[in-house]
Chain A
Amino acid sequence: MLIDWFTIIAQIFNFIVLVLLLRKFLYRPILKVMQDREDRIRNQLTEAEEKQQKAKEQISLYQQKNQNWEQEHQDLLLEAKHEIENNRKKMMVKVRQEIDEHQTHWQQAVDREKKEFLDSLRKKISQQTFTAVRRVLNELADVELEAHISKVFIDRLQNMEQEQVDEYRAAIEKSEGPVLVRSAFDLPQQTREEIEAVAGKQFLNSKAVNFEVDPDLVCGIELRAAGYKLVWSLSEYLERLEDLFEEDLPERISE
């Protein structure tokens, strides 16, 4: 008999026991370990992906930072260039101003010195000229010249314009002081009388006349009354000449 029922039952039982044992010792642990490993690998992959993502983010972040830094660097450079350029311009302007100021000061100093020099030159020339002229005229003055001068003065008195005469007369009548005639030399009596006569006739009426000698007049005669003055002298010409000198001489020299 090929089939033994006891053996069949025993084998079924054996098989069931084997199934249970293998399930406990083989399939479950192995499957669990495999599952664990799969989970682990999956986690590692996920982690790696996350890390890669993070790394990418970091890279982009640093690239951005780099770019920003570069931009900032360029901006700073540009700013510095502008600042330097501005400073240079400012300094140039300042230097130019300073130079201009210096130039102005210098020009002013030169002008002042020139003027001072010219002034002193003019004074010296004038003084020398007048001293020379005065000395010449004093040395030349004699009775004859004095007579001529007196004659000229008397002519002038006589030939005064009517309008001027009226003015003189009106002024002298109002004033109380005496009429003063000054001369560079002592006038002879005759000449005094002539002057008194002519002046009296013109505008003095009966006013008294005083005579004085003043060498500063330089070959001249002068009549003063009530603030008016009628004069003929070389000093008058000399003063006019001095004025001309003062006006004319510096220009000539500066040219």
Chain B
Amino acid sequence: MSTKTKPETATPSNHITGSEAVVRCLLEEGVDLIFGYPGGAIMPVYDELYKYSDQIHHVLVRHEQGATHAAQGYARSSGRVGACIATSGPGATNLVTGIADAMIDSTPMVCITGQVPKHLLGSDAFQETDVMGITIPITKWSFQITEASEIPEVFAKAFYIAKSGRPGPVVIDITKNAQFGKLDYQYEHCEVVKTYVSRPEIGKNELQEAADLINSAERPYILFGQGVILSEAEEELKSLVEKAGIPAAWTILGLSAMNTDHPLNVGMLGMHGNYGPNVMINECDVMIAIGMRFDDRVTGNLDKFAKQAKVIHLEIDRAEIDKNVKTDVALVGDAKEVLSLLTPLVNTNTHESWHQRFKECDVMEFDKVIRNECDPTEGMMTMGEVIKNINQHTHGEAIIVTDVGQHQMVACRYAEFKQTKSNITSGGLGTMGFGLPAAIGAKLGAPDRQVIAVVGDGGIQMTIEELGVILQTDVHVKIVLLNNEFLGMVRQWQQLFFDKRYSATEMINPDFQKIAEAYKIEAKRIDDRADLDKSIEDMLNHDGAYFLEVMVGKENNVFPMVPSGAGVSEIRLE
């Protein structure tokens, strides 16, 4: 589908309309799939999408928010730029949540919005809204095109900015007159923007200082995030970890950048991360943070975070250095590039007694939390046992997409990964409703892989309309709804911190099975543990999308937990 020019039947004219230029720019950037929703101010572009439908597959979402999350899922499973398109006014404002999500989670995405004609700008015209004003704070870059001739250069720049450096969302707002107007089309890919450094030069001194610190460390500890995946530095990370024998923990967005079962992968950081990775933050002597940004859900109380440690921070975004955690050595640069230069400078080591400390913590966590969560024998099913069962069937080969809430934390804690780009979740923004559309996008971005959306009964109802995409586009996504009939994470906090005053968290839910079936999706609901294994197996073997609703314990909690405002060492196991 990714042919870059029109068929050879006729040489395409280069004196074309702005709307045709938009489509040809997309083709130049390798876009063969776009998520969107038509409307008045973007109709000329939709008319061209119709003509170019053999080269660009347009996926009609049911709400523009779904287009952004699908584009995000697509970008994260494929490593390419996600594209979405909407009309002006409400079409554009409906993109806002997904743009903000892509911004905070560094997802490369280009959003195209229609706009009223130039002469009506500022006149409160029908479906006019100040898209630039609204999206500037939540985009890496944005531009309003008001003349057709601006289109090629702006698109080239937009795609370059979206995917280079620390990736992020870009908005291109195109007035309708620019879509109708003519231009002499010529496309040049953008490789540099004068005011923007996408690949900072790496400091040689800093590299040596970092290596010296690592070589002198007795208890070195690597924390890695999505930067490893975005720069495709998985092998380089593995080389460093193995050569220097350093235990490595992943952030929620770093999941799958290493194999789960790698002996030096100690697990997940953060509020609901693993016990050892949290506690050892305050035990290590050298901390090496790679492609992560010390989010407050990772650090807990900063005054109680790694105060004893020397900190090396490898990060492509200079603004992240010293933002939350004071750094001793800053390695500003691309993770792949820096790691490939750093690893030759570090000594071979094993740090065995230090590893042992993590293993002791693992035993405690298993006894207090994991055994009960993943291997219960009585009572309602737990989220953990569902994830464990999925692991047993997929052997860590599936892409796991989650929504936001308890099920997300449980899925991220227990899902096993053997391939990179296999965990897609809304980490920074915590966007409920992300899961279903993101899973659809992820499947379209990686059609040969099994994609499982793990969602909760709250989140799925925020974007459940996207089941329509599964129906219309025949996307073979497996949806596992972990239904506890509560907004579980908020309920957990109400239980622990608000004396069980369950304010507005109990859900009276619809018959999800009927909803799925109305969209012609095979569906099943189970509430008996005895049916779990077979149901998961049937779901995965089914040739098509599948909706499996699993009734789980209503008032189960996710542990461990670093209470809000506490230090990471104050993590609670129960």
Q: Answer whether A and B are interacting partners.
A: no
